[in-house]
Amino acid sequence: MAINEPPESLASSSDDNNNLRRRRDGGAKSVDVVTELDSSSAEASSSSDGDGIQEERNEKVENEEDRKVNETTPLKYVYRASAPAHRRNKESPLSSAAIFKQSHAGLLNLCVVVLIAINSRLIIENLMKYGLLIGSGFWRSSTSVRDWPLLMCCLSLPIFPLAAFLVEKLAQKKYMNERVVVTLHIIITTAAILYPVLVILRRDSAFLSGNTLMLFACIVWMKLVSYAHTSYDMRQLAKSVDKGDNSEINYPYTVSFKSLAYFMVAPTLCYQLSYPRSACIRKGWLARQLIKLVIFTGLMGFMIEQYINPIVQMSQHPLKGDVLYAIETVLRLSLPNLYVWLCMFYCLFHLWLNILAELLRFGDREFYKDWWNAKTIDEYWRLWNMPVHKWMVRHIYFPCLRNGIPKGGAMVISFFISAVFHELCIAVPCRLFKFWAFLGIMFQVPLVILTNFLQNKLKNSNVGNMTFWFFFCILGQPMCMLLYYHDVMNRNGSAS
C-alpha cells in the first residue's frame, strides 16, 4: 500500500510543486471517480425490484467497475486514507439472505474430514476391543450346499419371460382373444413370484441368498407386468388406428424377441420397443466403477459384521423389554445402519446400475435424483428409486386415475403394492411373516400427510427434510432390523 509523503520543505523547486499539484489533483479525481461509482451503484440498487438475478447482475457490474477503477487509477491513490472502504450494502456470508448465493465446499470438506477422523478412531477402538468379528452365518452362507437350489431357481427365471413372449406372439397372429391373453399373463406373472417363494420356504438357506433371489424375482415380475401392460396398450392403439379413430398416432405393434431380451437385462422396469443408447462402452471408466463396487461392497460387509451384528445380538426385543433400553439400542444401531444404507444406495443405484447401463450402452442413466434434499416423504419416494417410481406411475398410479380412483386412493394402492413386495423380500428369506416391513411401508402414508402439512404450514424445507431423516433412517430401519432379528431368533429357539 503506497502513501504519498509530504514535501520536505516549502521552499522546494517549481517542478516539485507541479508534481505535487498533479498528484493531489489525480488523487482527488480518483476519489471523485470512486464516489461517482458508489452513487451510481446505489441508485441501481435502489431501483432494482429485489429479484435475485438482478442483484447478481448489479454485483457483477459493480465488481467490473471496481476492477476498471483499479486498473486505470494508480494503486497509491486507490488505497489512500481518503478513499472510501465501504461502498455498498452487503450481507454476512452466513446470513439467510446470502447463504445460498455462494459455495460452501470448504465446510463440506471439513465435515468429510471430521467424519473420517472420528470414524477411523471408532474403528480402531472397536478392533482393539473386540478384534476382527468376520464370520457370522446369519447374513451369508455362499459356500453352503443348501443354497444351490436357490441358484438353480434364479437361473430358471428366464422361463417366464419366454412364456410371455410366446403369448404375445400368438396374440399378434390373432390366435387368441384379449381375455385369454390377459389370463395367461396373469398366470405367468403369478407363477414368476410364487415359484421362488416356495423354493425359499422349502429350503433352509441363508438370509442373503434368499433375499437376493427374491429381489431378482420381484424385478422379473415387474418387468413382466410392464411387458404385458405395454403390449396390451400397443394392441389397443393399433386397433384404433385400423378403425381410423387415431390416424395421427404412429406407434407400431410389433413383438420382437430381441427387444424383450434387451429389456429383461436392461436397468429399467418399463418396457418399450427401443431405448436411448450411448455411443460406445468406456472401458477405463467401467474398470474404475468395478473397483469402486468391490471396495464399497467390502466396506458394507465389514460394517455389518463388525458393528451391526454385535449390537443386534446383544440387544433385547424392542417391544418386550425396557423402553429406555430399547431407545438406546435403536440410537446406537442407527449410525452404522445409516452408513450401510448409504453404501447400499451408492453400490446399487450409482455403481451397479451405471455399470450395467454402460455394458448395454443404455443411455438414460437417471436412476435417482436428489432424494437427500426431499422436503416431504412423498417427495423422497419420487426421487429415491427412479426405475420403481416410473413403473409405479406408468402401470399403477395413472391407470388408477383413468379408472376413476381419486389421487389419495391411487397413492394408497401404490404404497400397498410396495409394502407387499418389501414384506416378500424380507419375510420370505427369514421364513417369518410378522408383517413388520409391510406395516413400516404403510406407515409412510400418514407420514406423507404429516410432512406435507408441516411443509405447507411452516414454509420451512428443513423441517420436512429433518422429519424424513429421523423417521426413515434414525428410527424406522433400526427398529425393523431389531424386530426381525429377535423374531427369527425366538422362532429358532422355540423350534429347537
Which residues are known to be catalytic?
A: 422
**Quick one: the chain helix, strand, coil %, rounded to 5?**
75, 0, 25
Max CA-CA distance within the chain? 118
Place of cell 396390451: 232
The 8-class DSSP code of residue 320 comes to: T
Find all residues with CB under 8 Å of 384, minimum gap 6, and list them: 368, 371, 374
Place of cell 439472505: 97
Dihedral of alpha carbons 207, 208, 211, 217, sign: negative
DSSP reduced 3-state for 362: strand
DSSP reduced 3-state for 206: coil
Q: How many helices (H) and strands (E) does the chain have?
A: 21, 0
Whether 317 and 482 have beta carbons less than 8 Å apart is answered as yes
DSSP reduced 3-state for 277: strand
Helix (H) / strand (E) containing 39: helix 14-47
Quick one: cell of 90? 452487503
Quick one: cell of 366? 437417471
